[in-house]
Amino acid sequence: MNILFVCTGNTCRSPMAQGILEDMAKEKGLGIVVKSAGVYALDGSNASVNAIRALREDNIDISNHRASIVHRDLIEEADLILTMGKSHKDILVSKYGFAQDKIHILNEFIYGIEKDIIDPFGGSIQVYNNTKYELYNAMEELLKKLMRGEF
């Protein structure tokens, strides 16, 4: 299973989701390949300082993360593409229509609701922690769904 998370700049939400899911999958011995990218990412940018700090509190290290803009190869390789918000999904579907059946808003895929994951960009560590908790809950539900074969 190859999962791609997509947000805006690939410095906050999607690398946090990637780090959390990789950690959870490793704990459960699941062979899931997880990648992340941004629709407007500046290739090579670091993850935001507070994203790194928030996950470091849980012994998840994303300090080596480098941002990547979404490109066709990532879309083609992914079995499942989960966006942090509706605008990201809309951009991907308009640019990569051939993959529209595997592009979903994360909260819509997990909970059936069209709700964006809070963007912590520029916020305090508490804002990042709120996003982290939101992502932890979503990743737990995502793993349950995948383990039940619901994808």
Active site residues: 7, 13, 119
Q: What CATH class does 2-147 carry?
A: alpha beta
Residue 93: band (very low, low, confident or very high) from pLDDT cuts 50, 70, 90: very high
Cβ atoms 118, 125 nearer than 8 A? no
Q: What is the pLDDT of residues 41-89, one digit of tens each?
A: 999 999 999 999 999 999 999 999 999 999 999 999 999 999 999 999 9
How far is Cα 69 from Cα 19, in angstroms, rounded to an integer?
18
The pTM assigned to this predicted structure is 0.98
Q: Is 76 left (phi over 0), alpha (psi -120 to 50) or beta?
A: alpha
